A and B are shown apart, each in its own frame.
Chain A
Amino acid sequence: AQKITQTQPGMFVQEKEAVTLDCTYDTSDPSYGLFWYKQPSSGEMIFLIYQGSYDQQNATEGRYSLNFQKARKSANLVISASQLGDSAMYFCAMRGGNAGNMLTFGGGTRLMVKP
């Protein structure tokens, strides 16, 4: 069974500072993918970044980067230079090779950016 844990229900960050959102996972699959989604107050789910279990380098997409520590089973999202528009819920999700196409989500972290 797959499990995703996001231990920070809510976080504040000052505008223009960097912030790290934690995500740990548990799976017996040797092959898996990790995803981060953003859900603003308008409700849509926006894909941010992907990391594969066999990727040698940490994924980056603009201001988003993923701090992937495979031995610790963690895939933390780092947002650099926070903007007011980054205020949203952030979900970590995993898809394992043996779980078919099932995408398992964590409980989410609400990020609030202070001006």
Chain B
Amino acid sequence: DAGVIQSPRHEVTEMGQEVTLRCKPISGHDYLFWYRQTMMRGLELLIYFNNNVPIDDSGMPEDRFSAKMPNASFSTLKIQPSEPRDSAVYFCASSQLAGIQETQYFGPGTRLLVL
């Protein structure tokens, strides 16, 4: 069974450009999470969805960030306009259920560099 799929794996863009990151969760998983990893802040949760509905977006840094999940097999994280401080690795993860014992499985990440 395929794991979480993310695209692109690497993205280099210039400040002010729009960036769209894509994620396909594991089939049958009802929860989808977007994380950002930086040296300064470590791994931080940005937003998560349950059955395509955003549940908690308190980690989204500002209005430049938006996330959607139009269906159970696809989600996007968009940054518009992008800034150099957005440079980070962005991970998508999914889990089947809620509950403390549920493991989140991570995608390979998208390494974003904003120049």
When A and B form their complex, what is the total count of cross-chain residue pairs whose Cβ atoms lie within 8 Å?
Answer: 60
Q: Are B101 and A50 in contact (CB under 8 A)?
A: yes
Residues of B within 8 A of A (CB-CB), count: 26
A32→B43 CA distance, assembly (Å): 19
Tell me the minimal C-beta distance from B77 to chain A in angstroms: 16
Interface SS majority for chain B:
strand
B39 to chain A, nearest CB (A): 10
Quick check: A91 and B108 within 8 Å, CB to CB? no
Whether B109 lies near A43 (C-beta < 8 A) is yes
Known contacts being A44-B109, A107-B42, A108-B42, is A101 close to B103, with CB within 8 Å?
no
Interface centre among A45, A47, A53, A97 (most CB of B within 10 A): A45
A33 contacts B100, C-beta separation under 8 Å: yes
- Asked if B45 and A102 make an inter-chain contact with CB atoms under 8 angstroms apart, the answer reads yes
Complex contacts, B93 vs chain A, CB 8 Å: 45
Checking A31, A44, A91 against B100 with a beta-carbon cut-off of 8 angstroms, the contacting residue is A31
Asked if residues B103 and A50 are in contact (CB atoms below 8 Å), the reply is yes
Q: Is the CB of B56 within 8 A of A100?
A: yes
Bound Cα distance from A37 to B104, whole angstroms: 10
Asked if A102 meets B56 with Cβ closer than 8 Å, knowing A43-B89, A44-B109, A108-B42, the reply is yes
**Is residue A35 within 8 Å, beta carbon to beta carbon, of the partner chain?**
yes
Q: Mark B79-115, 1 if CB is under 8 A from A, else 0.
A: 0000000000101010100101111111111010000
- 8 of the cross-chain contacts (CB-CB < 8 Å) are A35-B104, A43-B109, A44-B106, A44-B109, A45-B106, A46-B106, A100-B56, A103-B33
Residues of B within 8 A of A (CB): 31, 33, 42-45, 48, 50, 55-56, 89, 91, 93, 95, 98, 100-109, 111
Since A97-B100, A101-B95 are in contact, a sample of 17 more A-B pairs with Cβ atoms closer than 8 Å, ordered by chain A residue number, is A33-B100, A33-B101, A35-B103, A37-B106, A42-B108, A43-B109, A44-B108, A52-B100, A95-B100, A95-B102, A96-B100, A101-B98, A101-B102, A102-B48, A102-B56, A105-B43, A108-B42
Per CB-CB distance, the 6 closest pairs between chain A and chain B, nearest first, are A45-B106, A33-B100, A105-B43, A44-B108, A95-B100, A43-B109
